[in-house]
Amino acid sequence: MRAPEPDNAALEILLARCARQDSAAIEELYQQVAPILLALLMGMLRTRDLAEDALQDVFVRVWRQAGQYDAHRGRTMAWLVSIARNRAIDMQRANRNWVTLESVPEPAAPAGREESTLTRNALERCLQLLSGDQRQCLVLAYQQGLSQDHIATTIGCPLGTVKSWVRRALVSLRQCLES
Amino acid sequence: MNYLRPQLLEQLAGAYALGTLRGPARARFGRLCQHNSAASAAVQRWEDRLIYLLPVVAPVAPSPQVWARIAQRIQSRPVDSKRGTGWWRWMAAGALALSLVVGISIRLLNPPLQTVAALGDDRSHPLWSVARSGDSGSLTIRALQDVRGNAQRAYELWALPRDGKPPVSLGLLPRTGSIERTLSTTQRLALLASSKVAVSLEPPGGSPSGQPTGPILYVADVGRTG
């Protein structure tokens, strides 16, 4: 069951207030967004302790960098998610994230509610154009935060093959979306 | 200056956003994004594309101490360090007090002696002005703009005594228009003994405990010149 996603306009207002050092705003932002980000961080860092450490770092960073968010992006969740993912990637240590294939969820509905139906369908269509291997590599990298090294070990393929799949997947995705 | 070919930039930006760019290369590219707008724009485009790979996740409520630690870390770089640690520690003992000093200067109005504090986070567009009569017997508080913000909360004004004693409430701030408030003896003496006032966010009707229970939003200098 999925919680309703916070409204983008409301999040933008909160970020603008954070940029003006409005401390009530960062607390409101935390209440709205922290549980979603924590779930994502636990997916990448596995243990709750690590994920909560990362969550702290994320919100301190959001507070300090709120003024850098470009409101014209219209994607506050994307910005917040990227801060969270980057933190998780930085925190990963080698050999920490072995994962079996069965536990990897397929990407379901898109995360961005504010996105137009046209674009959402475009991305789903473009993802379908990828081979199963390419799509799987993207999902493991993005959702689990696996390095290509770990992906290779997880699915039992050479590293070079994985790198090739990832590279082609990104190229294909971009070409498809830009067409 | 390094010039990245567009194709290479797209490749690196995509790998960075996906997370497959690692190690020193990731660190280098991250630094590049901080000063190269083409690079950061490319990463943003990739982030916006890839977010659709996010799985449907059930939200997980963080442990209570997570927010407490965030609040401490945000607070640990106060703009005003002159105030000393005593008051900070006292406020931190209550509910999350995040306080930032906005150094607003005092303007002396025409006699009889009046002092004014301007409250808000934007020097050129303060939210409230606070004036007191010469003997601090009454305050006139004027909302300079209609104060939007959280309709479920009230904004309460506090005098902050110089000797570090607990804040004393000077009542609620109006969201619009102006009010004149006669101060009690306690309030008057507290204000005379204070060089700063603060605004906290409280439940409707103000703090139930007589001390700030919500975050401190603004602090301003109050005093008199001459």
Is B201 in contact with A142 (Cβ distance < 8 A)?
Answer: no
Q: Do A44 and A86 lie in a common domain?
A: yes
B72 and B28 within one domain: no
Contact A30 B67 (CB under 8 A): yes
Question: Do B118 and B169 fall into the same domain?
Answer: yes
Which among B10, B44, B150 has CB closest to A24? B150
Q: Which amino acid appears at position B191 of this protein? A: L
Q: Which of A12-16, A55-59, B184-188 has the highest mean pLDDT?
A: A55-59
Across the interface, of A39, A170, A171, the residue whose CB is closest to B18 is A170
Domain end position, chosen among A48, A76, A91: A91
Half-sphere CA count of A172, side-chain side, radius 13 A: 17
The structure's pTM equals 0.59
For residues A86 and A124, state if they share a domain.
Answer: no
User: Which range marks the domain in which residue A12 is found?
Assistant: 8-91
> Measured between CB atoms, does B150 come within 8 Å of chain A?
yes
Please check whether residues B47 and B73 belong to one and the same domain: no
Q: Are residues B35 and B87 in the same domain?
A: no
What CATH number does the domain containing A81 carry?
A: 1.10.1740.10
| Domains contained in chain B, number | 2
Which residues in chain A touch residue B122, judged by CB atoms under 8 angstroms apart?
A: 20
A125 shares a domain with A82: no
Are A15 and A86 members of one domain?
yes
Looking at the structure, tell me whether residues B155 and B208 fall in a common domain: yes
B59 close to A (CB below 8 A) = yes
Which residues does residue B131 pair with via DSSP β-bridges, in sequence order?
B116, B140
Looking at residue B181, its pLDDT comes to 86
Over residues B50-64, the pLDDT tens digits come to: 888 887 778 999 999
- Distance separating alpha carbons of residues B68 and A58, to the nearest angstrom: 14
Question: Same structural domain for residues A27 and A82?
Answer: yes
Q: How many whole angstroms separate alpha carbon A89 and alpha carbon A77?
A: 18
Claim to verify: residue A120 and residue A87 sit in the same structural domain: no
Q: Nearest 5 degrees, angle CA B72-CA B77-CA B78? A: 100
Are B44 and B128 found together in one domain?
no
Nearest CA in chain A to B23: A90
Residue B198 has pLDDT above 90, yes or no: no
Residue A97 placed within a domain = no
Closest CA to A41 of B54, B24, B21, B71: B54
The rounded distance, in Å, linking the Cα atoms of B224 and B189 is 15
Q: Do B52 and A107 touch (CB under 8 A)?
A: yes
Count up the domains in chain A and report the number. Answer: 2
Q: Does residue A23 sit in the same domain as residue A69?
A: yes
Residues of A in contact with B49 (CB under 8 A): 123, 173-174, 177
> Which residue has better confidence, B51 or B85?
B51
The enclosing domain of A169 has a CATH number of: 1.10.10.10
Assigned domain for A2 exists: no
Please provide the average confidence, as pLDDT, over all residues in chain A: 83
On whether any CB of chain A is under 8 Å from the CB of B149, the answer is yes
B97 & B13 share domain? no
Q: Tell whether A74 and A15 lie within a shared domain.
A: yes
Query: Are residues B46 and B74 part of one domain?
Result: no
Query: Which residues 177-196 of B are in CB contact (within 8 Å) with A?
Result: none
Does B59 fall in a domain? Answer: no
* The predicted structure's pLDDT at residue B206: 86
Do A130 and A76 sit in the same domain of this protein? no
Domain coverage including residue B27: 6-53
Alpha helix locations (H) across chain A?
Answer: 8-19, 23-45, 48-65, 76-91, 117-129, 132-144, 148-155, 159-178
> Which residues of B fall within a CB distance of 8 Å from A99?
none
Are residues B217 and A82, on separate chains, in Cβ contact within 8 Å? Answer: no
Cβ of B167 under 8 Å from any chain A Cβ?
no
Report d(CA B164, CA B83) in Å as an integer.
9
Residues β-bridged to residue A144: none
**A86 and A134 share a domain?**
no
Is there a contact between B66 and A40 if contact means CB atoms under 8 Å apart? Answer: no
Q: Which residues in A lie closer than 8 A to residue B149 (C-beta atoms)?
A: 24
SS3 content of chain B, % helix, strand, coil (to 5): 30, 25, 45
- B78 lies in the same domain as B176: yes
Letter for the amino acid at B105?
S
Is B76 inside any structural domain? yes
Percentage, residues of chain A above pLDDT 90: 50
Q: Could you tell me how many residues make up chain A?
A: 179
Q: Would you say residue B161 has pLDDT above 70?
A: yes
Confirm whether the ipTM is greater than 0.90: no
The mean pLDDT value for B124-145 works out to: 76
**Same domain as B84, residue B38:** no
Residues B75, B49, single domain; the answer is: no
